[in-house]
Amino acid sequence: MRLFNIILKDIRDKVKYYIKTFGCQMNVYDSQRIAHILQNMGHTAADAPADADIIIFNTCHIREKAAEKLFSDLGRINLIKEERQAAGKETIIGVVGCVVQAEDEQIAKRAPFVNFATGPLTYYRIPEILGKIAQQKNICLIDTEFTSESKFDHLPQNRAEGGCSYLAIQEGCNNFCTYCIVPYTRGVETSRPVEEVLKEARRLVETGTLEINLLGQNVNAYHGEDAAGRERDLAHLLRRLAEIDGLQRLRYTTSYPADVNDDLIACHRDLKKLMPYLHLPLQSGSDRILKAMNRRHNRGQYLEIIAKLRDANPELGFSSDFIVGFPGETDQDFEATLDMVEQVGYIQAFSFKYSRRAGTPAAVYPDQIDEKVKSERLNILQEKLFSQQLNFNKGCIGRIMPVLFESKGRKKGQLFGRTPYMQNLHARVPAELINRILPVRVTDATANSLGGTVIQQSD
């Protein structure tokens, strides 16, 4: 009971928390906001779970493996809980995120030692939940109700954790791609009002942010209200954000190809702050499969959007997500994907074997593809994507690029930063230059990272 008493007694600085994050950037953003909630309660971050009084897992449900791994990870955390208990220390284990929304009953059944579980839209209630736990030991509180309230109305003010910040502007998805669990875990699509986003962005810049990455499951479907109650799109928001003094870089992710409009394309021509890198998931290069996936774009439309974007800004580099082995995918369909990769030329990409998600339409489609075939196709695709990425990176050798240094690098004396194209770059830079954008001459390249030297401004 010690921890619970500590909470009640208000000796709050003794309580430490540890948050482990799985999944996409939206979860990273949510974890930062949960940290802010806990910090506002007076709690501080622990370096390791064994030192933490509150351990929170922020979970992802996108593929089966990710969800299954959660239960083995939770098992390990329970061992830590037991060890701490033997040493007279209580531990609260919380699970948040997308798995909770889909598998709340499983969590209660398979991991009864979990003290609370709350979905991605309701974690703002954590202080209330911790209050209830303080009064009643060994309960498992599950809170997965979709609410009409916006979590953003209840969260503390955001603040920068470094030079790059995520800012969620849109959440949920109405697209219902037939393979995807997200519409069921994050709910229907909602957009935050324009002024609210601007306020959060200004605050991030005031506290040290140089780069903002706008987030949404379908970010370019953004349709937030402005001060006059008028619906505004992502292009409008980007233009307003670009006016913020001190903000140097803007990005947005993830975009849905069919929702790229002409104004958004024009932003890539007009806005210097908008980085020349766009993640535009294609998923498959076969029109037949795209249809079965319920994607609202085909090959021709996708290529047309890419051409228009390149016309607006010839420097643009593209990345994509791909799924191989969707039910019914033939060799010919897969060849069509390889052909699209060839035609577009990606500078980065993420590719996955199709994973059956219970409750989604494709999970019960006939013609599920053999795991071996999926693996073979994934290897072939990844080899092709790898060589495109390597070629692009090698082509950067000799170029001078502005790099935002974010953190310490792997080796001593090195910092880690990102180029405008989101490439990882390591360079020997003094640690006090973290959170600065410096010109770097690229000297070497692998498929996954670049090396370089900071040049004097007068070079």
Choose from ligand SF4, ligand SAH, ligand F3S, none: what does 23 bind? Cβ within 5-8 Å by kind: ligand F3S
Count the helices and strands in the chain (H runs, E runs).
13, 21
* Residue from 180, 238, 289, 415 in contact with ligand SAH (CB under 6 A): 180
Rounded distance between C-alpha atoms, residue 266 and residue 66, angstroms: 38
* Binding residues among 403-422 for ligand SAH as defined by CB under 6 A: none
Choose from ligand F3S, ligand SAH, ligand SF4, none: what does 323 bind? Cβ within 5-8 Å by kind: ligand SAH
Choose from ligand F3S, ligand SF4, ligand SAH, none: what does 185 bind? Cβ within 5-8 Å by kind: ligand F3S
CA 194 to chain centre: 21
- Residue 185 interacts with ligand F3S (CB under 6 A): yes or no: yes
Choose from ligand SAH, ligand F3S, ligand SF4, none: what does 377 bind? Cβ within 5-8 Å by kind: none
Q: What's the closest the beta carbon of residue 27 comes to ligand SF4, in angstroms? A: 13
Choose from ligand F3S, ligand SAH, ligand SF4, none: what does 352 bind? Cβ within 5-8 Å by kind: ligand SAH
* Binding residues among 327-386 for ligand SAH as defined by CB under 6 A: 352, 354-355, 357
> In sequence order, what DSSP letters do the residues of 18-63 get, joined into one string?
EEEE-SSHHHHHHHHHHHHHHHHTT-EE-SSGGG-SEEEEEE--SS
Nearer to ligand SF4, 18 or 302 (CB): 302
Say if CB 328 and CB 362 are below 8 A apart: no
* Residue from 31, 170, 185, 218 in contact with ligand SAH (CB under 6 A): 218
* Residue from 97, 224, 281, 317 in contact with ligand SAH (CB under 6 A): 281
> In sequence order, what DSSP letters do the residues of 120-185 get, joined into one string?
TTTGGGHHHHHHHHHHSTT--EEE----SS-GGGTSPPP--SSSEEEEE-EE--S---TT--HHHH
Q: What's the closest the beta carbon of residue 175 comes to ligand SF4, in angstroms? A: 4
Which stretch in 60-68, 208-216, 244-252, 304-312 sits in contact with ligand F3S by CB under 6 A? 60-68
Rounded distance between C-alpha atoms, residue 95 and residue 118, angstroms: 7
- The site that binds ligand SAH (CB under 6 A) totals a number of residues, namely 17
Nearer to ligand SF4, 279 or 426 (CB): 279
Per-residue HEC secondary structure of 56-90 comes to EEEECCCCHHHHHHHHHHHHHHHHHHHHHHHCCCC
* Binding residues among 42-101 for ligand SAH as defined by CB under 6 A: 62-63
* Binding residues among 164-183 for ligand F3S as defined by CB under 6 A: 181-182
Helical ranges in 207-328 per DSSP H: 234-242, 262-270, 287-292, 299-312
CA 109 to chain centre: 29
Give strand pairing partners of 17: 45, 54
Choose from ligand SAH, ligand F3S, ligand SF4, none: what does 26 bind? Cβ within 5-8 Å by kind: ligand F3S
Rounded distance between C-alpha atoms, residue 3 and residue 84, angstroms: 11
Residues that bind ligand SAH (CB under 6 A): 62-63, 179-180, 182, 217-218, 254, 256, 281, 283, 321, 323, 352, 354-355, 357
